[in-house]
Structure 1
Amino acid sequence: MENATRLDRYKRLLSMLDDKFKEEITVQDIENTAFYSYRNINRIFLSLHQETIGQYQKRLRLEKAAEYLKFSNQSIADIAYDVGYSEISSFSKAFKKHFRCSPSIFRNSYDYRQNLTKKIVLDEEFDEDYKPEYTVEELPDLKIMYLTYYGDYDNIKAIKDIWEQLVIYALKKKVLHDKTPFIGEILDDEEITDVLKCRYNAAVVLDDDKDVDEEGLFRTKIIKKQKYAKFIHKGSHESCDETYAKIYTYWLTEMPMELADKPTLEFYINDESNTPEEELLTEIYIPVE
């Protein structure tokens, strides 16, 4: 078996685990996808991710539950069922072991911190009537080629290295032109996911008629059509946190729409190499129902 074939099977396995983590994935499903015995693929997975396949599935479920507790008004019982737990007692036990607090304490703690942050920001920096400006837009299906970064979102150097690899590969594949959109897909919430396991996809949008063979860790997929609230950040990428703080403090606490369970997208409008830092523009797309 060639290494490329092995890598393709690993990528298919990872895609299945990410897409279907709320569902019951059997040992047979994993073996049929990876073409390895469960024991052997689990050893490989553990060496790459520092956790077993079972631990990975469980962590994704609990982190998704934490997102629902943080951003929705769903009952704890409904959240438990939604992420794949048939009994709330099993969910509560697993949640407490992972986050070291019960689901109800986690939700109450976040509400308290959200209100405290809002009060501090209002008192110290902003007008009480301030609201971030946004528009609501629906993006069509986006075919992307991407490379995944794992780690702390604040590690700008490491993320830039991922982008450099992606651009070199995209040039090699001749998929870049003057109007090619460059986007970041933010898959995890660093308040919930361990920073070393946070995922960020550096991506270029492919033309509809362009097909690219996947090589190595470079992958392609379709981001399905979705409605978003679009915000504009002006300034360095490092300062994006300030805009996100405004969004989540002022807008999401009173928003007229529900958050959709999809990743946030960032569109990078200008070239960092020839644009002054203070003039850089990032379009932030937050998915909504």
Structure 2
Amino acid sequence: MNDFNLKRIYNTRNHIEMHYNQIISISALEDISSYSYRNLQRVFYSLFKETIGAYQTRLKVENGYKKLLYSKKQISDIALEVGFADVQSFSKTFKKHFNYSPSLARHQKEILLNDIHPQKVIYYTLEPEITFIPEITVYYSSCKTYYINPEIEELWDVLLKNEFPEPLTDFFGIITDDILITDKSKCTYDACIVTKSIIKSLPIKKIFGGRYARFFHHGSYETLEDTYEQIFGGWFLNNTVEFSHLPVIEQYITNNGNCDNPSDYLTAIFIPLI
């Protein structure tokens, strides 16, 4: 598949992500992709290993799960927000997907958030800055990964081989999925760049546009997980703040492009807030 066709498929997937909780018409998907719906289904499945319907349903239940974990909203309200007609249909689909009910998922929140180290007491020392980040447009490339560094580094290597007439100003990583919720075979990472150049071969999307808790990670990417444990297993559980279901965003401020020593890397972690 050439870059132009691939870009259209990514634009289609992005449209589904943005409107996952609404009825998405076949004609809208055909207009965005320039494929017939039958051919679009074939191409979509070959790239992402899911049908369009299964992908949209997964977004509904997984975003519902995030809302159960990270907000205090009523389950009935969450069901409507993520696109179900009522709480009964949400509960039925949720239980089919995860093998337990939404109420049990919420009840076991603290256990789940400390699942990696269930016996470890996490002492958090991080304090974020709560800030509004305006919406920005980025070029991006995606890969399926369980957020393993070699796969992400390879994605960045391929992305940065493109020619950019204008300098790149910012580098972001979109942590699309929650590793506590999404099956690792379906987790997606987006490598994003900001530039004034027009790159016809790459898809674009908008990121940010809301309130975020901004944390900073100092040091190698190999130790990023330690900072995430402090955020979710420490700071979040000890505060009344409510997280949004939107993706976590990383900004690579000091990185291997401007620093030779990984211990001096600086990464901002933006946690979306309601």
Report the TM-score when normalising by structure 2: 0.89
**Cα root mean square deviation, aligned:** 2.4
Structure number with greater CO (CA < 8 Å, separation at least 6) is 2
Q: SS of the counterpart of 2:193?
A: strand
Partner of 1:157: 150
* Alpha-carbon distance in structure 2 between the residues aligned to 1:57 and 1:221: 18
For residue 158 of structure 1, what is the amino acid of its counterpart? E
Pair 1:96–1:236, CA change in 2 (3 A):
same
Partner of 1:280: 265
Partner of 2:165: 174
Partner of 2:174: 185
Deviation at residue 35 of structure 1 after TM alignment: 3.2
Pair 1:40–1:221, CA change in 2 (3 A):
closer
For residue 148 of structure 1, what is the amino acid of its counterpart? S
Q: SS of the counterpart of 2:96?
A: helix
Q: Equivalent residues in 2 for 1:1-289 (5 A)?
A: 3=2, 6-114=5-113, 120-122=119-121, 126=123, 130-153=124-147, 155-169=148-162, 172-176=163-167, 180-206=169-195, 210-215=196-201, 218-272=202-256, 274-289=259-274
Pair 1:279–1:213, CA change in 2 (3 A):
closer
Q: Larger Cα Rg: Structure 1 or Structure 2? A: 1
Deviations 1:130-156 (A, max 9, x none): 541222223233232221122210x21
Q: SS of the counterpart of 1:181?
A: strand
* Alpha-carbon distance in structure 2 between the residues aligned to 1:116 and 1:59: 22
Gaps of 5+ in 2: none
Residues 11, 204 of structure 2: 8 Å contact kept:
no
* Alpha-carbon distance in structure 1 between the residues aligned to 2:189 and 2:114: 28
Residues 70, 107 of structure 1: 8 Å contact kept:
yes
Deviation at residue 94 of structure 1 after TM alignment: 1.0
Gaps of 5+ in 1: none
Pair 1:60–1:74, CA change in 2 (3 A):
same
For residue 257 of structure 1, what is the amino acid of its counterpart? V
Q: SS of the counterpart of 2:161?
A: helix
Q: Percent identity among equivalent residues?
A: 33
Pair 1:161–1:81, CA change in 2 (3 A):
same
Aligned length: 273
For residue 140 of structure 2, what is the amino acid of its counterpart? Y
